[in-house]
Amino acid sequence: SRGRSRWMQVWQGIQAAYEAGFDPLKLNVVVIPGVNDGEILELAELTINRNWHVRFIEFMPIGNGDLFGDKGWVASADLRQQISDKYGLAESGVRGNGPADVFQIPGAKGTLGFISQMSECFCDRCNRMRLSADGWLRPCLLNETGQIDLKTALRNGVSTIELRDRVRQILEIKPEINFKQRDSGTTQGNYSRTMSQIGG
């Protein structure tokens, strides 16, 4: 949080959410070498006695690939190995509707998800689109090909039927974008905006 540690505030917020009835509680963790990669086992432990879903996400260098040096991400396979070496790890019968590969520590109440967009491409089964903070609908988070300006369309009174047609059109081109645009979107740094600017 802007260079300052607010761990206690974050942790209190997580606990408050759980006490308020968020069950299962879902926590996303972007693992960065030298920043929080030493906390993997402790984070995994949160799922043992609680019905929490902790998802480890490989850092995506969207517009800021040099932020953490040559390799600013940790491969999901390495994280799974760390956890397996201490606790054991098995594929979970729990399945979400997104790109995470889901595992469990044997006997745990919660699950561990791994979103591996850098090391284990899941473009072939991606079912996600991104609505950015400024109203652009993108068929792929990793590049801007085919995006449409929903905010302007809505403010100009475009009909629901026309909006539906526009969204259907980008859904139809999504598989092509997923495969053919991956390299330019993921590895070459051809972005006009960073992840924090995309938001959504």
Provide the whole-model pTM.
Answer: 0.73
What one-letter code names the amino acid at 99? P
pLDDT of residue 197: 64
Q: How far apart are CA 42 and CA 44, in angstroms?
A: 5
The 10 Å Cβ neighbour count of residue 74 is 21
Backbone φ and ψ for 146, nearest 5 degrees, come out as: 80, 0
pLDDT of residue 158: 94
pLDDT of residue 184 exceeding 60: no
Q: When comparing pLDDT for 87 and 2, which is higher?
A: 87
Beta strand 136-138 with 130-131: parallel, antiparallel or unpaired? antiparallel
For 12, the 3-state DSSP assignment is helix
User: By mean pLDDT, which of 13-17, 84-88, 100-104, 144-148 is the weakest?
Assistant: 144-148
Residue that has been written with the tokens 């998802």 in this structure = 55
Query: Distance of CA 94 to CAs 103, 121, 126, Å?
Result: 8, 21, 18
For 120, the 3-state DSSP assignment is coil
Domain boundaries, the chain: 7-115, 125-198
Q: When comparing pLDDT for 119 and 200, which is higher?
A: 119
* Residue 52 pLDDT level (bands cut at 50, 70, 90): very high
∠ CA 131-135-97, nearest 5°, is 10
Tens of pLDDT, residue by residue over 104-161, are 999 999 999 998 877 877 777 778 888 888 899 988 877 677 889 999 999 999 999 9
Q: What is the average pLDDT value for the chain, to the nearest integer?
A: 82
Helix boundaries (H) for the chain: 7-19, 40-45, 76-87, 150-155, 160-180, 182-186, 195-198
Q: How far apart are CA 101 and CA 113, in angstroms?
A: 5
Which of 55, 40, 57 has its CA nearest to residue 103? 55
